[in-house]
A and B are shown apart, each in its own frame.
Chain A
């Protein structure tokens, strides 16, 4: 056993070495570090701040949903965020859904909780055509689909800079090429695809201080709104996270006791063999 620990102590630094060297890698195109932020859903015991996620949904519904779909979610899922059944029915009924009736005719009807979130565009081509050639990504999994996704979205929403107001010195700090030009319809964002010709995002700044008035009267400055949207999107990306962590705590506790028992049994069995 002592030997095993000693070997482990020797091996662990070996395994950790690549991680330690990684920051020393000289790669081009690293933009500024993401904004530091702590979220309620981080850590082994973290949960989704329900109030923040509900406010985040309000922002999604009023702002993001104009361009971004969330195809993996249904209105009924919102009940997991603490919304009442009546509230969810109301939210669903606010949208119009294409359907087919008993006679096989195309109809439009109010949405039901079992409907998926309404898509802003009928298809990807229409989405791209309406948005300067690039379809806005679906947001269902966006937090899981980007490295350090929560902090990335949080930073991106606050990362818009007016390009014309950047000094040459600041441009150099971003590592922009000499012939860098921001095309019409593109916006400069500190955290979007850094590179000599990078930082160009098609999305106009979606949020600004006071953009949405919260029903619950929470202060609606940009950082709060960004945090709320991120909380909602993190929940949308992994609605079963709280279940996972709760189960995990029980499993690990069980395994600890089980391991202790196994060790005691092993010691007892081996007592006469040494």
Chain B
């Protein structure tokens, strides 16, 4: 990997010396996490990668314990979760940590992604790093969706029914694919069993891709708030202790907010309907996915055609893979892109509005005075803007925008903070 600067430390412990000579894991850790040269100007938005990692570990640790007490069978799943809540010692804690951990994992990852978009972290030479990140997002979405099915409540069952049915929109093979996914002719015990199996498998696949994601980051080095490469040692700091302490502080603050929800509002992100056992004969009034899917759900619903909606929904993630090439600007950081900077915030707002539309009933209306605006129209407008941002705005903006002058180096921008504004 890139940072092989510095000599391996002389280890005092003979055992460590013996191991390190044969398998240099200590030297590796020293290079990649000890002295690894990291831009000295990170702000706290850079802590969210580490925070996401902490959440991933939390999810796997709590998930393994939950699996010891959970029964993946349509007749027992719901009650086995309630047994965890009532009779398993500290079971309520593990379950609430896992349930809210999913939300906070997504919060961390969404912020991490928006940070990458604002500071142009996906640009040359970090395209592959970005693509691996989008793969992680896709895997997370699949994992979260299947995990939500496991408690086998009403939303679990009907969410699974609605989402798996999307695949029936595929021409010719659609219905066969759905039958294959279900393992039968409706969402039933085989579906629950395979979802449990995959929900246990995919997190480890995520760990694998995270390793690649971090490896790629250690080749290219981190981007930074001003988006210019470090030019020498004066521009960087060793990862330890500088970023270990800075990220450590950020992690504790993030975990504190997470803990506030786990202990004082554990059902805030959940749907009351999921405390009703699954009933295939009774459809809930509103089928709503978990909040982190709402923007994508809004895109799905805004297209009148089923296949078109499915394509748009998957396309909304797919377009992220192309982002490094759609954005034609040479300058990375928004700090030096006076126009894009504003469009970035419009994009964030647009995504939030999409989420809000997705959370409301399909036929809801927004009343402003005597005007009644169907949310469907707002959803359509926002869906259009979502793709407009990536496919039209970014390619053109990169060509016509005149970036502000870049500072000569990171060190200079740190010494003269006014430059960085």
A212-231 contact mask (Cβ, 8 Å, vs B): 1 or 0:
00000000000000000000
Closest beta carbon of chain B to A40's beta carbon, Å: 16
- Report A5 CB to chain B, min CB distance, Å: 10
B259 within 8 A of A: yes
Chain B residues in 8 Å Cβ range of A259 = 249, 252-253, 256
Per-position contact with B for A236-274: 1 when CB-CB < 8 Å, else 0?
011110011101110110011011001101100110011
Closest residue of A by beta carbon distance from B365: A26
CB of A21 within 8 A of CB of B366, answer: yes
Contact of A248 among B262, B272, B365, B372 (CB under 8 A): B262
Contacting residues of chain B (29-55) with chain A, CB-CB under 8 angstroms: 40, 43-45
Q: Which of A24, A137, A248 contacts B264 (CB 8 A)?
A: A248
Q: Are A256 and B256 in contact (CB under 8 A)?
A: yes
- Within the complex, the shortest CB–CB distance from B69 to chain A, in Å, comes to 15
Complex contact B252–A255 (CB within 8 A): yes
In the complex, what distance in Å separates the CA atom of A108 from the CA atom of B360?
Answer: 51
Closest chain-A Cβ to B38's Cβ sits at a distance in Å of 11
Contact B365 A244 (CB under 8 A): no
- For A17, list chain B residues within 8 Å (CB): 352, 356
**Stretch in B12-20, B210-218, B240-248 with 4+ CB within 8 Å of A:** B240-248
Chain A residues within an 8 Å CB radius of B241: 269
Of B85-93, B138-146, B184-192, B320-328, the stretch lying at the interface with chain A is: B85-93
Of the residues B44, B96, B356, B414, contact of A4 by C-beta under 8 Å: B44
Residues of A within 8 A of B267 (CB): 144
| Complex Cα spacing A24 to B365, Å | 9
| B366 in contact with A251 (CB, 8 Å) | no
CB pair B263–A251 under 8 Å, yes or no, is yes
CB–CB B349/A14 < 8 A: yes
Asked if A122 is an interface residue, CB under 8 A from chain B, the answer is: no
B177 at interface by CB-CB < 8 Å: no
Is the CB of A109 closer than 8 A to any CB of chain B? no
Q: In this assembly, does A141 line the interface, its C-beta being within 8 Å of a C-beta of chain B?
A: yes
Contact A4 B272 (CB under 8 A): no
Check if B252 sits within 8 Å of A24, measured CB to CB: no
Cβ-defined contact, B79 with A18, below 8 A: no
| CB contact list, A87-136 vs B, under 8 A | none
Q: Which candidate, A56-64, A145-153, A161-169, A203-211, is the interface stretch facing chain B? A: A145-153
Query: Are A252 and B245 neighbours in the complex by a CB distance under 8 Å?
Result: no
Q: How large is the interface on B (under 10, 10 to 19, 20 to 34, 35 or more residues)?
A: 35 or more
CB distance from A239 to the nearest CB of B (A): 6
Are B366 and A245 touching (Cβ within 8 A)?
no
Least Cβ distance of A71 to chain B in Å? 8
Given the complex of chains A and B, what is the CA–CA distance between A164 and B86 in angstroms? 45
Q: Which residues of B contact A146 (CB under 8 A)?
A: 272
The verdict on B309 contacting chain A, using a C-beta distance below 8 Å, is no
Which of A18, A147, A252 is close to B260, meaning CB atoms less than 8 Å apart? A252
Contact B96–A244 (Cβ < 8 Å):
yes
**Nearest A residue (CB) for B263:** A248
Task: State the Cβ distance, B200 to closest chain A Cβ, in Å.
Answer: 26
Chain A residues with CB below 8 A from B163, complex form: none
Q: Which of B90-104 contact A (CB under 8 A)?
A: 92-93, 96
- Contact of A25 (CB < 8 Å), options: B82, B253, B365: B365
Q: What is the bound-complex CA distance between A246 and B20, given in angstroms?
A: 47
Given the known inter-chain contacts A4-B44, A26-B365, please indicate yes or no for A248 contacting B259, CB distance below 8 A: yes
Query: Are A27 and B263 in contact (CB-based, < 8 A)?
Result: no
Is B368 part of the binding interface, using a Cβ–Cβ cutoff of 8 Å?
yes
Cα distance A44–B40 when bound, in Å?
A: 41
Instruction: Tell me which of A14, A72, A141, A255 contacts B256 (CB under 8 A).
Output: A255
Q: Are A245 and B275 in contact (CB under 8 A)?
A: no
Indicate with 1 or 0, residue by residue over B409-421, a CB within 8 angstroms of chain A CB atoms. Answer: 0000010000000
**Chain B residues, CB < 8 A from A237:** 275
- Whether B85 pairs with A273 at a CB distance below 8 angstroms is no
Please measure, in the bound complex, the distance between the C-alpha atom of A270 and the C-alpha atom of B82, giving whole angstroms: 48
The interface residues of chain A lying within 8 Å CB-to-CB of B237 are 273
Q: A26-B365, A72-B79 are in contact. Are A273 and B272 (CB under 8 A)?
A: no
Given contacts A24-B368, A146-B272, contact A245 B263 (CB under 8 A): yes
User: Is the C-beta of A15 less than 8 angstroms from some C-beta in chain B?
Assistant: yes
Q: Is the CB of A270 within 8 A of B246?
A: yes
Of the residues B248, B352, B366, contact of A262 by C-beta under 8 Å = B248
Q: Is B276 an interface residue (CB 8 A)?
A: yes
Q: A18 vs B352: C-alpha distance in the bound complex, in angstroms?
A: 8
Complex alpha-carbon distance, A274 and B414, angstroms: 8
10 more contacts with CB within 8 A, not counting A144-B267, A259-B252, are A14-B352, A24-B367, A25-B364, A244-B93, A244-B96, A259-B249, A259-B253, A262-B248, A262-B252, A270-B245
20 A–B contact pairs at CB < 8 A? A4-B43, A4-B45, A14-B352, A24-B366, A25-B360, A25-B364, A27-B361, A44-B264, A137-B276, A141-B276, A145-B273, A145-B276, A146-B272, A149-B272, A240-B92, A244-B266, A248-B263, A258-B252, A259-B253, A265-B248
Q: Point out residues on A near B: beta carbons under 8 Å.
A: 1, 3-4, 14-15, 17-18, 21, 24-27, 44, 72, 77, 137, 140-141, 144-147, 149, 237-240, 243-245, 247-249, 251-252, 255-256, 258-259, 262-263, 265-266, 269-270, 273-274
Closest 5 CB pairs of A and B: A248-B263, A18-B356, A26-B367, A145-B275, A262-B249
